[in-house]
Amino acid sequence: MATKEIVQIICNACWNKSGAVVEAVEQLTLGSLEWDLCEEHRDRFGGLLSQALDINEPIAVSA
């Protein structure tokens, strides 16, 4: 019989705050640190980071 493993990646912030299982939509990496974030925490952290770096608009980077 074949088995199938299903992996759900959850938001580290939601889990650490309240134990809530909320699906992560973004992975954030800064140096050797890495977080999986839900949409709410992704947006909140993006706003805080933009404020800290004094950047009002995201900078587009083309490959």
**pLDDT tens, 14-55?**
999 999 999 999 999 999 999 999 999 999 998 898 889 888
Give me the half-sphere count of Cα atoms (radius 13 Å) on the Cβ side of residue 26.
13
| Mean pLDDT lowest among 3-7, 8-12, 47-51, 57-61 | 57-61
The answer on pLDDT for 56 being more than 80 is no
Are 39 and 28 in contact by the 8 Å Cβ rule? The answer is: no
Q: What is the pLDDT of residue 1?
A: 85
Place of tokens 């050797």: 32
Q: What is the per-residue pLDDT for 62?
A: 62
Q: What is the pTM of this model?
A: 0.75
- Backbone dihedral angles phi then psi of residue 37, each to the nearest 5 degrees: -125, 145
DSSP 57: S
